[in-house]
Structure 1
Amino acid sequence: MNKFTSLLISFILILITGCSANNFEIKLSTPKSFTPDQATPIQMKILDREGNPVEGAKVSADLDMQGMSHGDISMKMKETRKGVYVGQAEFEMEGDYTATIKIDHKGEKWLGEKRFSIVYKKVQ
């Protein structure tokens, strides 16, 4: 392999690594259980690379039950305090879910996933 080819491959790898860098840290908080026909709060804490709260972002999430085709639960998240965003979801079934999270902050867009499980709340 000549020097030009090695340099070109190195450049492409650096470019790919830089483009896929995650500029946000997402901490997803979900309750362990839900009550049918009631809204369940879903909370995300969003931090930047330096660990500072991300304020003023547009945040939304689509919740999809893994292995089922019931359709997504879509939520627009509202900032309740610095870097903390909350949305409401109405779950129909307990199980494993994937939250596809979209963030738009000062023109920087990010799309990622977080997984969680939730069960029916047992009525006493």
Structure 2
Amino acid sequence: MNKFIVVVFSIVLVLISGCSSNNFQIKLSTPKSFTPGQASPIELKILDLEGKPVEGAKVSAVLKMQGMSHGDLSMKLQEIGDGVYAGKANIEMEGDYTAAIKIDYKGEKWAGEKRFSIVYKNAQ
């Protein structure tokens, strides 16, 4: 009986720690198109679970093109206000990307992914 209680308690602890790791609401904003040779703006809006802006966090992202292995685009995002963090990336190819995001806020660390697509902007 004691082993059963220990196993159940261990499972509950694992579930609680896994559930508490997502304490942020994150919205990724990217342009729909890019111009080669020009940096594209990338923004993250980060809110806590109560919907309040997360201010004073350290935020970084690595952009990876899905299905390709030609390198990653690392970027640190700077806080511009109201829970919005911005940076720029030199995107070279159109396609589907994954942004691997890391947040360090008051000792709490979070890592997750957001996906987006971008196309080449035709000269007009």
TM-score w.r.t. length of structure 1 = 0.93
Structure 2 distance, partners of 1:123, 1:101, is 31
Q: Which amino acid aligns with 1:82?
A: D
| 2:7 maps to amino acid | I
Match of 1:33 in 2: 33
| RMSD of aligned residue pairs (Cα, Å) | 1.1
Q: Distance between the aligned counterparts of 1:80 and 1:52, measured in 2?
A: 15
**1:15 aligns to what?**
13
- Supply the distance in 2 between the matched residues of 1:12 and 1:37 (Cα, whole angstroms): 52
Looking at structure 1, the residues matched to 7 and 75 of structure 2 have their Cα atoms a distance apart, in angstroms, of 41
Identity over the aligned pairs, expressed in percent? 66
Q: TM-score, normalised by structure 2?
A: 0.93
| C-alpha distance after superposition, 1:44-81 (max 9, x if no partner) | 00011211110000000000001111111001000111
How is 1:49-88 mapped onto 2 (pairs within 5 angstroms)? 49-88=49-88
DSSP-derived class of the 1:104 partner: strand
Cα shift readout 1:1-44 (whole Å, capped 9, x = no counterpart): xx434422322222122222211111111111111110100010
Structure 2 gap ranges (5+): none
Corresponding residue number in structure 2 for 1:106: 106
Question: Distance between the aligned counterparts of 1:59 and 1:71, measured in 2?
Answer: 20
For residue 116 of structure 1, what is the amino acid of its counterpart? F
Q: Which runs of 5+ in 1 are unaligned?
A: none
C-alpha separation in 1, matches of 2:51 and 2:8: 30
Q: Which runs of 4 or more aligned residues in structure 1 lie more than 6 Å from their structure 2 counterparts after TM superposition?
A: none
What SS does the corresponding residue of 2:54 show, helix, strand or coil?
Answer: coil
Deviation at 1:111, TM superposition (A): 0.6
Give the match for residue 24 of structure 2: 24
